[in-house]
Amino acid sequence: MNALKNDYRFADIILPLPLRKTFTYSVPDGLAVSVGARVLVQFGKRKFYTGVVRQTHITTPKDYQPKPVISVLDDQPVLTETQLQFWKWISEYYLSSIGEVMQAALPAGLKLASDSRVVLNPSFNDDFTALTDEEYVIAESLTQRHEFTLGEVQQLLGKKTVMPVIRNLMNKGAIVLKEELSGGYRPRREDFLSLSPSFGDAESRRTLFDELEQKAPRQMEMLMTFMQAKGGQGEVAKSAVLERSKKHYAALKALIDKGILLSTNRTVSRLTNGQASSGIPDLTEAQAGAKTSIIAQWQQHRVVLLHGVTSSGKTEVYAQLMNEAIQRGEQVLYLLPEIALTAQMISRLTRYFGPKIGLYHSRFSDNERVEVWQKVLAGEYQVVLGARSSLFLPFRNLGLIVVDEEHDGSFKQFDPAPRYHARDSAIWLASHVDAKVLLGTATPSLESILNARDGKYGLVQLTQRYGDIELPKVKIVPLSHTAREAHRKLSFTEDLRDAMKEALAEGRQVILFRNRRGFSPILICRSCAHIPKCPNCDVSLTYHKVFNEMRCHYCRYRTKAITTCPQCGSHNMQTEGFGTERVEEELHLAFPDARIARLDYDAVRSRRGHDRIISEFSNGKYNILVGTQMVTKGLDFENVSLVGILQADKLWSFPDHRSEERAFQLMLQVSGRAGRKGRQGQVIIEARNARHPILLLAAENDLEGFYELALAERKRFGFPPYKRLIQITLKHGNRQTVTQSAEALYTRLATTHGKRIYKPTEPMIYRIRNKYLQTILIKMERNKDVLREVKASVLEAMDWLVQQKGWSGVDVVVDVDVY
């Protein structure tokens, strides 16, 4: 550690707790702390946390005696000043605590908790004479047992306050606090084998081989295995040698014991770096024109919207711009809305950028995420491809942020806090570090379109599909009650079935989109109309035939499927409606020779499940893929000629101001999977209301018509992008309590902001996880001063509410820019 400088005595620490402030700790003599470094501190009487140093200063707190920092966990800061400023903005804009931002931003492997462990210092000379009685008890016990938790030290001494004793032992060099605390990062270590320098020349090796061949043939065989595995390298992983030799441990150990092979243990990365296998493809004339326009637009606008139809080659344009940023020595962040999209994209970009690119998302292990963090901080990764959490990585020289599928609602974090929007947050981050932003999509969000029309964003359009392939033909098939009864055994119409037969006969592939998982959303008694409901939520249980279970998709409650009605005793239980499971089952009946895969949340429970299904479908193992919206997003399949959209009406039948926009985007996105290579594709959309305006606009691929219709409606009713929305949700186990507290909160806010505040209402699903809900909506002008005033009022009202008798247990969730 560096020697302590004398220009500070205190440090303000961010803790991973839902509290809207930092906490001041004293810095002991001999301890050096740096802004952005992690420290171990005590919070309360027993809890210990990893905190992040926000600032250092000399101002003594007036109202309390600060506890001391226990230890510094980093020689160098793990966060940059830019990150800390970003955390502050996220906290203030989205009304979350700075601790909640820390909890979301830092990988779990960089956060340590209160089961800190005390171990004997390896360099301690066992001289206990300078120790007090309590110190001696701890040190002597550690000679018998390797480590103690802080709780066990409390038991050992029979007292609650043990940190003064721990600190004294640390100052005397007797003990250290392990950094591998709960959740802490553990480097991966591996043994590597090399040939002893004693056998460096050919003659000595020949002698060795002759001797082993005569006296120890098994060792000779192992040595030859080592030489083959080593190839032209100086060393080889021990695990690789054992794998080749069918794990003959004894022979390998003998070679090491004799000094013939040398074993070295060292830290290795868990991450696999791909190798660049091809250059970035040359751009078509249309793509090159789009790239030139983007660069020109960046001269006047920090943010440029690239509106490119599906299969127009947006990714190649991104890659060219990314490569130019890398050549300027800049880092690039490529944001995707979901982990589901990363497999195909990382494969394509790795071909172009090789080991320069890293991947970051929530399905990585804690240790893997820490390693990515470290590589970004060190500048080893010049490109990072990831979901929304990758915004929090410690970029040193961020020059370009690409937000692919910028319209996608998955960029919005819903739970837990902070409830940030990654696209909007990326734009703020870019402005702070002077980077450029490229928003790309085939179906721009209304916010981005309006910003482009108003001149806030640059706009570039790519209207030509790669290879001049035409957009797919779209056919709308009406669903009547009569038709459904005639085909009640199938979830799809005869028109779609015939089109599927034709596609399969030609060796083509088919995608069916049904945005509901499970077998059936409802299991109903035909005798008394009883529908089993979740005991914790106000929703019916979805029947999953694969698991023979009924499940709640809100709280994950599950129970065995019933065959007897618990209300009337009837055995006449039937399903109503259908999800992806039922579609898959009926496909097997209708097309017994087809190879069918399902892509939904239930089918991709394993870490690599999604990647495997997508890869196998892309390689032709399956010729029909049925799934939820996972199949709609950014996937590129060369052989798909037909897309079917089942019960399209369900896509916009939600009481939500964005439901029609989402439905329109989903239909266009999934339609774009058809006919991407070769010939024109076909899309069949089944709907009860075949004349619905959104459906007709989607069938004609009429984006301008949709934008005119949707923007006019949003403006008329005062919804985004013309207004800002803040939604306050109150939750409590008692329905009366949550109703009364919501009314009180509304009254307090309405006195200041009047008509901007709407009275509390029960949402459509008014009980989730045994808590009743009330929501308060705030609509306000798109004015920074108004937004600032409303937020201040909301925070004040929340603080007031929790101080009221009987209401301190009410959970208050604030969602800024409701999506």
CB within 8 Å of 709: residues ≥ 6 apart: 693, 697
- Same domain? For 127 and 104 the reply is no
Q: Which one has a higher pLDDT value, 54 or 165?
A: 54
Mean pLDDT, to the nearest integer, of 117-134?
81
d(CA 228, CA 297): 56
> Residue 452's pLDDT is what?
97
- Same domain? For 692 and 776 the reply is no
Q: Does any domain span residue 274?
A: no
Q: What is the DSSP string of 347-387?
A: HHHHHHHGGGEEEE-TTS-HHHHHHHHHHHHHT--SEEEES
CATH assignment at residue 35: 3.40.1440.60
Given a cut of 50, whether residue 484 has pLDDT beyond it is no
3-state secondary structure of 284: coil
Q: Are 160 and 45 in contact (CB under 8 A)?
A: yes
Instruction: Identify the band that residue 481 occupies on the pLDDT scale cut at 50, 70 and 90.
Output: low
Q: Are 332 and 326 in contact (CB under 8 A)?
A: yes
Mean pLDDT, to the nearest integer, of 672-679?
75
Least confident of 43-52, 455-464, 552-561: 43-52
Q: Which one has a higher pLDDT value, 569 or 157?
A: 569
Q: Are 90 and 96 in contact (CB under 8 A)?
A: yes
- Same domain? For 560 and 678 the reply is no
Cα 181 to the center of its chain, rounded Å: 24
Distances (CA, A) of 466 to 175, 293, 308, 680, 806: 65, 18, 11, 12, 63
CB within 8 Å of 197: residues ≥ 6 apart: none
For 419, the token pair is 């409830």
Q: Does any domain span residue 447?
A: yes
3-state secondary structure of 424: helix
Where does a domain end: 152, 177, 202? 177
Q: Which one has a higher pLDDT value, 450 or 517?
A: 450
Residue labelled with tokens 């005390």: 118
Q: Does any domain span residue 803?
A: yes
Most confident of 350-354, 603-607, 811-815: 811-815
Average pLDDT, the chain: 88
Q: What is the pLDDT of residues 18-59, one digit of tens each?
A: 988 999 999 998 888 999 999 989 888 767 888 999 999 999
Given a cut of 60, whether residue 681 has pLDDT beyond it is yes
CATH assignment at residue 807: 3.30.70.600
Q: Are 290 and 306 in contact (CB under 8 A)?
A: yes
> Residue 427's pLDDT is what?
98
CATH assignment at residue 441: 3.40.50.300
> Residue 173's pLDDT is what?
84
Where does a domain end: 130, 152, 177? 177
Instruction: Identify the band that residue 170 occupies on the pLDDT scale cut at 50, 70 and 90.
Output: confident
Q: What is the pLDDT of residues 517-556, one digit of tens each?
A: 899 999 999 999 999 999 999 999 999 998 899 999 999 8
Phi, psi (rounded to 5 degrees) for 57: -165, -175
3-state secondary structure of 483: helix
Q: H or E stretch including 533?
A: none
Least confident of 91-105, 483-497, 605-619, 732-746: 483-497
CB within 8 Å of 243: residues ≥ 6 apart: none
Q: Does any domain span residue 777?
A: yes
> Residue 274's pLDDT is what?
63
Given a cut of 90, whether residue 109 has pLDDT beyond it is no
> Residue 471's pLDDT is what?
84
- Same domain? For 685 and 735 the reply is no
Mean pLDDT, to the nearest integer, of 569-595?
92
- Same domain? For 296 and 437 the reply is yes
Instruction: Identify the band that residue 180 occupies on the pLDDT scale cut at 50, 70 and 90.
Output: very low
Beta strands 573-576 and 558-560: pairing type? Answer: unpaired
Q: Please state, for a pLDDT cut of 90, what percent of the chain lies above it.
A: 58
Least confident of 239-243, 466-470, 551-555: 466-470
Q: Does any domain span residue 582?
A: no
> Residue 179's pLDDT is what?
43
> Residue 407's pLDDT is what?
95
Q: H or E stretch including 398?
A: strand 398-404
Residue 411: name the closest of 395, 391, 381 by CA: 391
Given a cut of 90, whether residue 186 has pLDDT beyond it is no
Least confident of 239-253, 301-315, 653-667, 789-803: 239-253
Q: Does any domain span residue 417?
A: yes
Give just the sign of the alpha carbon dihedral 225, 227, 230, 232.
negative
Burial of 781 (0-12, 13-18, 19+ CB in 10 A): middle
**DSSP one-letter code for 137:** H
- Same domain? For 431 and 336 the reply is yes
> Residue 725's pLDDT is what?
97
> Residue 3's pLDDT is what?
41
Q: Which one has a higher pLDDT value, 735 or 468?
A: 735
User: What is the end-to-end Cα distance of the chain in Å, rounded?
Assistant: 47
d(CA 533, CA 166): 54
Q: Are 402 and 336 in contact (CB under 8 A)?
A: no
Beta strands, E only, 63-178: 71-72, 117-120, 147-149, 175-177
Domain span at residue 32 reads 10-110
Where does a domain end: 177, 203, 226? 177
- Same domain? For 235 and 297 the reply is no
CB within 8 Å of 487: residues ≥ 6 apart: 493, 494
CB within 8 Å of 687: residues ≥ 6 apart: 476, 477, 478, 479, 647, 648, 649, 695
Q: Are 275 and 351 in contact (CB under 8 A)?
A: no
Residue 34: name the closest of 82, 83, 1 by CA: 1
For 705, the token pair is 């018509």
Distances (CA, A) of 804 to 321, 800, 812: 56, 7, 14
> Residue 308's pLDDT is what?
92
Distances (CA, A) of 302 to 316, 412, 738: 21, 22, 44
CB within 8 Å of 656: residues ≥ 6 apart: none
d(CA 276, CA 352): 5
Instruction: Name 558's bridge partners.
Output: 551
- Same domain? For 416 and 485 the reply is no
- Same domain? For 501 and 628 the reply is yes
Please report how many Cα atoms fall inside a 13 Å half-sphere around the Cα of residue 484, on the Cβ side.
13
- Same domain? For 693 and 728 the reply is no
3-state secondary structure of 793: helix
Given a cut of 80, whether residue 276 has pLDDT beyond it is no
Go through 457-484 and write b for each residue having 16 or more CB atoms within 10 A of its CB, e for each that does not. bbbbebebbbeebebbebebbebeeebe
Q: Please state, for a pLDDT cut of 70, what percent of the chain lies above it.
A: 92
Phi, psi (rounded to 5 degrees) for 491: -90, 5
Beta strands, E only, 458-499: 458-462, 473-478
> Residue 490's pLDDT is what?
58
For 481, the token pair is 């009650």
- Same domain? For 26 and 100 the reply is yes
Dihedral of CA atoms 737, 742, 743, 746 in degrees, nearest 10, equals 160
Residue 191: name the closest of 249, 271, 110, 246 by CA: 249
Given a cut of 70, whether residue 357 has pLDDT beyond it is yes
d(CA 163, CA 157): 12
Q: H or E stretch including 599?
A: strand 596-599
Phi, psi (rounded to 5 degrees) for 514: -135, 115
- Same domain? For 698 and 754 the reply is no
- What is the 3 state secondary structure string of 439-463? EEECCCCHHHHHHHHCCCCEEEEEC
> Residue 487's pLDDT is what?
42
> Residue 340's pLDDT is what?
61
* Total domain count, the chain: 7
